[in-house]
């Protein structure tokens, strides 16, 4: 698919739609969710993952004075084209406003330090451990996700 969501007309309905790191980039994420939900089969699901504003590393950035508040867009956010940084409540809110019912909320990847430090210094065991910790503590994980369906 090489199209804007707003211009795409699928030939068939989908059982699963994955919006991996999409919603933080678009002008109107609620509209995108409404559009995508119209493409679902009656039993279909939307899976969406986004960066988490409440992640451990963003909280540390606020304490260190690198961010004024957790949802502030920093240089890396602007570089990647982010228009917003979600927290668990704002992600849930957008799904509700789009008429979707969240079945699963979770997180992954507890990120205590910068990407450069991780790439330079971390072992495979450390990567696995911090991925598991993100799953255990989704509210402070680096990434949060939902699985949702259309409301009955």
3-state secondary structure (DSSP) of residue 54: coil
- In this prediction, residue 150 carries a pLDDT of 97
Q: Domain 5-150, CATH 3.40.50.261 — does that match?
A: no
pLDDT in tens, 62-106: 999 999 999 999 999 999 999 999 999 999 999 999 999 999 999
Closest CA to 144 of 106, 117, 99, 93: 106
- pTM, rounded to two decimals: 0.94
- In this prediction, residue 152 carries a pLDDT of 83
pLDDT in tens, 105-126: 999 999 998 889 999 999 999 9
Residue-range domain boundaries for the chain: 5-150
Integer Cα distance of 133 and 111 in angstroms: 9
Residue spans of alpha helices (H) in 39-151: 56-63, 75-79, 88-97, 115-121, 124-136
Integer Cα distance of 28 and 31 in angstroms: 5
Q: What is the mean pLDDT of the chain?
A: 97
Integer Cα distance of 37 and 85 in angstroms: 22
- In this prediction, residue 55 carries a pLDDT of 97
């Amino acid at each position: 698919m090489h199209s804007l969501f707003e211009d795409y007309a699928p030939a068939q309905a989908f059982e699963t739609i994955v919006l991996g790191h999409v919603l933080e980039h678009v002008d109107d994420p609620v509209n995108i969710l409404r559009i995508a939900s119209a493409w679902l089969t009656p039993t279909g699901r939307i899976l969406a993952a986004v960066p988490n504003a409440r992640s451990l590393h963003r909280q540390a950035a606020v304490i260190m004075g690198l961010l004024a508040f957790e949802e502030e867009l920093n240089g890396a956010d602007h570089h990647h084209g982010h228009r917003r940084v979600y927290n668990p409540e704002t992600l849930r809110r957008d799904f509700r406003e789009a008429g979707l019912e969240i079945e699963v909320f979770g997180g992954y990847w507890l990120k205590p330090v910068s990407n450069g430090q991780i790439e330079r210094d971390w072992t495979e065991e450390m990567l696995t451990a911090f991925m598991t910790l993100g799953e255990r503590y989704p509210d402070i994980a680096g990434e949060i996700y939902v699985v949702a369906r259309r409301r009955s």
